[in-house]
Structure 1
């Protein structure tokens, strides 16, 4: 019993790492279910062959898990969605039946110390799956604003508002979607035309086949703006990791950049960018997809529903709906998994010459050396300002209306400098 269930657990962890072309949360979920099916099948076969207490009932959970995995992997999305209503109660019924049969047929301490805890975990999974299905069906209906634009291997979501130029492009921080800029985008749109977008695997955008680093993100954004006919040059504003990406964009496409706003940006590195490996296999992508299977148990909604409370309602509902998905959870991990590479790529921007640059820095909760790194960013341009926003934290620039207003003001100042050709005016 112990060996069979342990083998099933190991298989559930290993199978999602098979080298296949399709790597996403559906594939990982199916592989986990196949692994569990193997464990239950071993219980039935080995107990029948090698003990005097055969547990033939274990064939039932093996078939149930294998069939569920096949449906998740092969069935249309509508069938998988319907399975969300059937799977939790069916699993509870199966657990109760298995517990009853094992109580009659398994006269060993393993029933109390091993099998019963496993059955309890399965009930928890069923409750989590039921919560996720109910939460999806009762949550606010969220319609995508903007458009999906084909950039080659996938589609990216883009929304532009306002009417005056130069055009401002907002780059969310690590883990952020276009909706997370909901306090900033509407305010900027009053005086300028502003575009927000979702990076691959975030928000409404399609996932990438492998974790995109800063260079790929910059290329994606360039293609997105080109194919959506959004003319440059642009004022780019990036928060946190987004600061890395706008720096990389400025290094790759300097003629398309009129000015920058770095909002408590992650510091770049001056290390050499290592060449990409020729192999298309990504352990990180498989790992992030495996972790994202927890979204089917309601984990994504539990986390998302505790955040974004200060955003305007339409942005809040958008952010919570998209952040709860397995795709979003996987994309979040992908982004941080290639952080070192993205930091090195951002370091390739050596100078903006005299293009306007505002560096906006949080006052509170900074790591050692953070302010010094922000000061160094301000030296990228001979026309720059460095502002430390009183009372702000790293997250409050997109979560607190007062501190988000400081971001809007910084963007406005850069836009005015671009329009007039005059230097930035302090403070």
Structure 2
């Protein structure tokens, strides 16, 4: 009996080692294939021992800098906006450390670390201020933090349904639903096992109809390696929000705020179910969100605020025309101000 048990144990161990080896080989081959099939569309800029992907197009000043929200998709989500903005000024999107084509970084990935990386990348690429910063969702607190520390280089700002420093507590109070762990255990486990090939097997393909199929395939290919960095940011969201919350005065800096306003009735039944909210909870949450968006518009005496009733949160995909128009308006204000004697 003991001999039989020992043989079974050895067989299981050998099979496990073989499966892990196959998984590692599969993952490394997939990463090589991703690098070959989906090369970085921009430059890989060295910021001191690691590289940040910076994709700049167009000519002119001020330079528009696009900061993505909390996601594994990074700069590609800005493609519909960037292509059009490049027609009237220079515009740069980029990937934060560990996302898509950028190298990972050690240490907490809070808003201060992110602002420092972006500043180094722009300098290393010789992109010249002044900048108009565009922050979507969590990108809002990131560009506010950048402005806090490098304000002399910032000439204007666009906030695209941007996160608010107090959103966690205020949304929980409004909806009556306590804030949950931003990183469920299963996703933590997947991120930790990226080397094994398992995330690449179980994660669904990116389905983003607003983007070219090749761009969506690139997001899918890099998603497993972007997970850890995205979760590293999520782990310190509250720190990032607090840091951004210490700076809410932009003076007369040109500011455009775009806010979602899509009503409950415009969402599908599947989308309503996925939200986990009742209609009443949704309406209370959206009212709290609208109040916070109004506050963001008050951070500058030279601001505009538009509520898009036909868009939900990711409006750079749902309403890129509105985002482009807001950027163009702020760029125009900056250009006219700089032309004054």
Normalising TM by the smaller chain, what interval?
0.7 to 0.9
The 3-state SS of whatever aligns with 1:182 is: helix
Distance 1:287 1:218, change over 3 A: farther
Residue matched to 2:122: 225
Q: Which of 304, 321, 327 is matched with 1:411 structurally? A: 327
Q: Which of 243, 266, 273 is matched with 1:345 structurally? A: 243
Range moving further from structure 2, 162-171 or 133-142: 133-142
Residue matched to 1:191: 88
Note if 1:317 corresponds to 2:217: yes
Paired with 2:186 and 2:124, the residues of 1 have a C-alpha distance of 32
Structure 1 segment 196-345 matched on structure 2, within 5 A: 196-269=93-166, 290-293=189-192, 295=194, 296-297=196-197, 299-300=199-200, 303=203, 305-323=205-223, 325=224, 327-345=225-243
Superposition deviation, residue 308 in structure 1:
2.0
Superposition deviation, residue 257 in structure 1:
0.5
Superposition deviation, residue 315 in structure 1:
2.9
Residue matched to 1:57: 8
Residue matched to 1:377: 296
Paired with 1:227 and 1:344, the residues of 2 have a C-alpha distance of 29
The answer to whether the 8 A contact 1:180-1:308 is kept is no
The 3-state SS of whatever aligns with 2:311 is: coil
Deviations along 1:166-201, whole A, 9 cap, x unmatched?
100000111041111111110111111000100001
Paired with 1:329 and 1:58, the residues of 2 have a C-alpha distance of 34
Superposition deviation, residue 270 in structure 1:
10
Distance 1:163 1:291, change over 3 A: same
Paired with 2:233 and 2:200, the residues of 1 have a C-alpha distance of 17
Distance 1:135 1:222, change over 3 A: closer
Q: How many residues align?
A: 300
Paired with 2:188 and 2:17, the residues of 1 have a C-alpha distance of 19
The 3-state SS of whatever aligns with 1:219 is: helix
Distance 1:300 1:162, change over 3 A: same
Cα RMSD (Å): 3.1
Paired with 1:238 and 1:301, the residues of 2 have a C-alpha distance of 32
The 3-state SS of whatever aligns with 1:382 is: coil
Distance 1:301 1:170, change over 3 A: farther
The answer to whether the 8 A contact 1:183-1:312 is kept is no
Structure 1 gap segments, 5+ residues each: 1-46, 73-79, 85-128, 272-283, 423-427
Q: TM-score, normalised by structure 2?
A: 0.78
The answer to whether the 8 A contact 1:182-1:312 is kept is no
Larger RCO of the pair (alpha carbons < 8 Å, separation 6+): 2
The 3-state SS of whatever aligns with 2:61 is: coil
Which has the greater radius of gyration?
A: 1
Deviations along 1:289-346, whole A, 9 cap, x unmatched?
64225555564466452422211344333323222x2x21112211211110110111
The answer to whether the 8 A contact 2:34-2:221 is kept is no
Paired with 1:193 and 1:138, the residues of 2 have a C-alpha distance of 28
Residue matched to 1:149: 45
Superposition deviation, residue 387 in structure 1:
0.6
Structure 2 gap segments, 5+ residues each: 169-182, 264-281
Paired with 2:104 and 2:5, the residues of 1 have a C-alpha distance of 46
Paired with 1:139 and 1:194, the residues of 2 have a C-alpha distance of 24
Distance 1:288 1:167, change over 3 A: same
Distance 1:301 1:233, change over 3 A: farther
